[in-house]
């Protein structure tokens, strides 16, 4: 049976997501506060004893021009990949939400490795082409490993650059809460430089402030500085520590002083923080086109792989079309609006 997220079951919902092996901070009810321009709903599946066995946070974006809406479950749903009963309940709940909001489609991208005949395929068909979340992540398994063992897995060249950064006066600070918000302008200036240098659009400073505030104790801002005509920001990152997974979500660096290697020291500092907090996984985030050296995105993979992790390939994105005509109209509207 299924039920919708409400004030009475919200703590159960959050506890399940945070402790489940497939749980993600993007399925936390806190994430809905980051996506303030979306409506949020949640679906809960319970077994016969009343125990929660599956959840799904759903973000809903209305499309007024066609009087419809898109439903999206980022890194959801959260349940066992072979749990057909939970998947069936969640699917029924999604159908009810689609009727309520007159949705034209539902998309999801659970962080699981797809097995043959998995019931999760009942939530939709696999999307071809562009996906919202990257299908490939680079992760470092920390479980049962000491700080020295993890550092030994770094390329020797990386260890040398980290030591050079320290010798050249670079230092890294972890900032949380109000301290993070106070330092955010420095991070945002680095983000502007990074977006301009690498050719990608960036989010607003207000978005990053909302991100840090909404995730609360789970969010940190790491900043690398050097004393060059005062305290000068060289690189920065926003991370989330949730459910035993320490995730590197946003990163930025200065156009200048790259010979000081701040990015290398910053990654080591964040990995150290993950180990100290007994996290099982350090997630470097997506590595799109890791298999194609001719792509500009390959540089992200080249940098990350020096820290001794591995690529995880997820099942990808699934799409369920509820109203085909409105779905085609939404695509046309989206293309026209670009």
DSSP 8-state symbol, 22: T
Identify the structural domains of the chain with CATH numbers, from first to last: 2-130+315-337 (3.40.630.30), 137-313 (3.40.630.30)
| Contact (Cβ atoms closer than 8 angstroms) between residue 247 and residue 239 | yes
Taking only the tens place, the pLDDT of each residue in 226-239 is 999 899 999 999 99
CA angle 184, 190, 193 (to 5 degrees): 145
- The residue among 243, 200, 187, 205 whose CA lies nearest residue 15 is 243
Distance between CA atoms of residues 153 and 140, nearest Å:
10
pLDDT level of residue 337 (50, 70, 90 thresholds)? very low
pLDDT band of residue 259 (cuts 50, 70, 90) is very high
Residue 80: band (very low, low, confident or very high) from pLDDT cuts 50, 70, 90? confident
CA nearest to 21, candidates 101, 80, 73 = 80
Rounded CA separation 173/101 (Å): 45
At 336 the pLDDT is: 35
- The average pLDDT across 240-266 equals 97
Q: Are 236 and 184 in contact (CB under 8 A)?
A: no
Nearest to 91 by CA among 115, 121, 112, 134: 121
Tell me the pLDDT tens digit for each residue of 85-141.
999 999 999 999 999 999 999 999 999 876 555 677 678 787 777 788 998 999 999
* Residue 74 confidence (pLDDT) above 90: yes
C-beta atoms surrounding 41 within 10 Å: 21
Q: What is the mean pLDDT of residues 38-42?
A: 97
Least confident of 20-34, 74-88, 117-131: 117-131
Helices 205-215 and 184-198 sit at what angle, rounded to 10 degrees? 130
Token pair of 299, please? 């540089």
Q: Global pTM?
A: 0.93
Mean pLDDT of the chain: 92
Region 231-257 average pLDDT = 97
- Give the 3-state secondary structure of residue 73: strand
Confidence label for 78 from pLDDT (cuts 50, 70 and 90): very high
Percent of the chain residues topping a pLDDT of 90: 75
Q: Which are the contacts of 151, defined by CB distance < 8 A and separation ≥ 6?
A: 159, 268
Q: How far apart are CA 256 and CA 235, in angstroms?
A: 10
């Amino acid at each position: 049976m299924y039920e919708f997220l409400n004030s009475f079951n919200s703590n159960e919902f959050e506890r399940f997501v945070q402790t489940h092996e497939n749980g993600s901070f993007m399925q936390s009810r806190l994430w809905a506060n980051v996506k303030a321009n979306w409506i949020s709903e949640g679906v809960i599946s319970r077994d016969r004893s009343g125990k929660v066995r599956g959840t799904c946070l759903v973000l809903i974006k209305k499309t007024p021009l066609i009087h419809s809406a898109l439903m999206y479950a980022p890194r959801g749903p959260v349940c066992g990949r072979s749990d057909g009963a939970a998947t069936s309940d969640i699917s029924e709940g999604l159908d009810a939400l689609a009727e309520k909001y007159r949705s034209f489609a539902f998309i999801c991208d659970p962080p699981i490795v797809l097995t043959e005949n998995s019931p999760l395929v009942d939530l939709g068909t696999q999307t071809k082409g562009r996906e919202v979340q990257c299908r490939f992540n680079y992760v470092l398994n920390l479980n049962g490993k000491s700080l020295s063992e993890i550092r030994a897995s770094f390329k020797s060249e990386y260890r040398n650059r980290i030591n050079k950064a320290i010798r050249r006066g670079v230092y890294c600070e972890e900032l949380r809460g109000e301290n993070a918000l106070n330092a955010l302008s420095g991070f945002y200036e680095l983000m502007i430089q990074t977006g301009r240098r690498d050719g990608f659009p960036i989010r607003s400073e207000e978005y990053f402030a909302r991100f840090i505030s909404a995730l609360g104790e789970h969010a940190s801002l790491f900043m690398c500085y050097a004393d060059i005509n005062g305290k000068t920001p060289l690189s920065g990152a926003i991370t989330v520590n949730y459910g035993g997974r320490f995730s590197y979500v946003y990163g930025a660096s200065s156009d200048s002083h790259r010979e000081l290697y701040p990015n290398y020291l910053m990654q080591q500092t964040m990995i150290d923080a993950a180990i100290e907090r007994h996290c099982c996984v350090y997630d470097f985030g997506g590595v799109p086109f890791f298999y194609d050296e001719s792509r500009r995105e390959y540089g992200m993979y080249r940098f990350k792989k020096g820290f001794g992790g591995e690529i995880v390939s997820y099942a990808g994105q699934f799409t369920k079309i509820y109203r085909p005509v409105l779905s085609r109209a939404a695509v046309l509207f989206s293309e026209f609006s670009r």
